[in-house]
Amino acid sequence: MAAPASSSVPPTQTGPARWVAEIWIDPEWYRLQQAPEQLPSPGQPIITGLRKPRMVIGRTSGKTHPDLDCLTDTGVSRQQAALTTDGIRWFVEDLGSSNGTYVGRVDQPLPIEPIARRTELGYHDRIYVGSWTRIVVRPALAQETEL
């Protein structure tokens, strides 16, 4: 009897989170977008543990509840982008959003062109969506493993 084929998708993580996403309100991104909405007061990020191999970035609306909720940023689509992992690296891919998904390095100017395909995230990369949202994917700190 043949052994079952192995899946290349890592399973949902049930233990401590090894990776987190920080969701920030970014005033610089807001200025670049020239959004009509008023910028909320920037503060500390929302930090969410990345426990599934695919996490949808979006905005809650009706029955749509994304894994990473950009809350009141109306420039974010309900299903804006997907974060995926192969167990080692993280990737982001736009899901046909209205305003695009952008990736830029922390030490470079803000991006002006949206990504056109699945993009691997490096250590210094940031994801920009909507009118003011910046997302940072990074290894979890010891105190964040239960998020």
Residue 147 in domain: no
Helix (H) or strand (E) holding 29: helix 27-33
The number of folded domains in the chain is 1
pLDDT tens for 93-102 read 999 999 999 9
State the Cα angle at 18 between 131 and 146, rounded to 5°.
Answer: 85
User: Mind listing the pLDDT tens digit for each residue in 102-115?
Assistant: 999 999 999 999 99
Residue 122 lies in a domain: yes
CB 130 within 8 A of CB 80: yes
Closest CA to 32 of 122, 93, 113: 113
2 within domain boundaries = no
CATH classification of the domain holding 133:
2.60.200.20
Q: Is the residue at 72 inside a domain?
A: yes
Identify the helix (H) or strand (E) that includes residue 82: strand 81-85
Q: Is residue 11 part of a domain?
A: no
Domain that holds residue 104: 19-140
Give this prediction's pTM. Answer: 0.89
56: in domain: yes
